[in-house]
Amino acid sequence: NAGVTQTPKFQVLKTGQSMTLQCAQDMNHEYMSWYRQDPGMGLRLIHYSVGAGITDQGEVPNGYNVSRSTTEDFPLRLLSAAPSQTSVYFCASSRDGTQYFGPGTRLTVL
Amino acid sequence: TQLLEQSPQFLSIQEGENLTVYCNSSSVFSSLQWYRQEPGEGPVLLVTVVTGGEVKKLKRLTFQFGDARKDSSLHITAAQPGDTGLYLCAGAVTTDSWGKLQFGAGTQVVVTP
């Protein structure tokens, strides 16, 4: 099992550009989530999904879109990148209470 | 607004010393988890506590969930350099909210030889 994989590992964008952060899991987990981690802020929930076709907003959803067409994949889309979206992004999947995190994507928006 | 407040923010100790990290909230949580995160990696789950007053031990780590299920502590005995990392607490408000945990800001622990 690869667990939770995220691509890319690093990304630099210019303000206004769009991009998709990829997340995949091979553990057949129902729950998947996207968090952002900023210094002194811990992890904040962006969007989450309780199964294919079902998504909902977390604490900081503005500027991000998600979809869940399959159990395995949960991509995060930045529609028009802003410097405030500079952060480290973590995808996680969970079942029975244990969250498994991916290695993260470090995003810089100039 | 951070629902879970962790203290201290930073802790630097010598190998062999003991340390305690606290996680406090005014909200009640169905369960609380502790994670450790190392640089460049995602958090890794250490323990889940679900019952008020519960104490769990994991080798030199002792976790306690407060009686009112609003706070928790992590105690490390005889800390080692391998214990260095960012310790995060996270709470689930309901039993089916595993996909949307509330995280504290974390405590950075540095253990020097």
Per-residue pLDDT at B33: 93
Q: B99 contacts in A (CB within 8 Å)?
A: 31-33, 48-50, 94
Per-residue pLDDT at A95: 82
Average pLDDT in chain B: 91
Residue A67: Cβ within 10 Å count: 15
Per-residue pLDDT at B100: 74
Q: Nearest by CB to B104, which of A4, A42, A50?
A: A42
Per-residue pLDDT at A96: 77
Mean pLDDT, consecutive 10-residue stretches, chain A (110 aa), reads 92 97 95 92 91 93 96 96 97 87 96
Q: A94 contacts in B (CB within 8 Å)?
A: 98-99
Burial B71-88, CB ≥16 within 10 A → b, else e: bbbbbbeebeeebbbbbb
How many helices and strands, by DSSP H and E, does chain A display? 0, 11
Residue B96 has pLDDT above 70, yes or no: no
Per-residue pLDDT at B92: 85
User: What is the rounded distance in angstroms from the CA atom of residue A40 to the CA atom of residue A86?
Assistant: 14
Per-residue pLDDT at A99: 87
Per-residue pLDDT at A98: 83
Q: Which of A75-79, B46-50, B65-69, B92-96 has the highest mean pLDDT?
A: A75-79
Q: A71 contacts in B (CB within 8 Å)?
A: none
Chain A contact probe: residue of B41, B103, B108 with most A CBs at under 10 A? B103
Residue B10 near chain A (CB below 8 Å): no
- More confident: B3 or B29: B29
DSSP per residue over A45-65, as a string?
A: EEEEEEETTEEEE-SS-TTEE
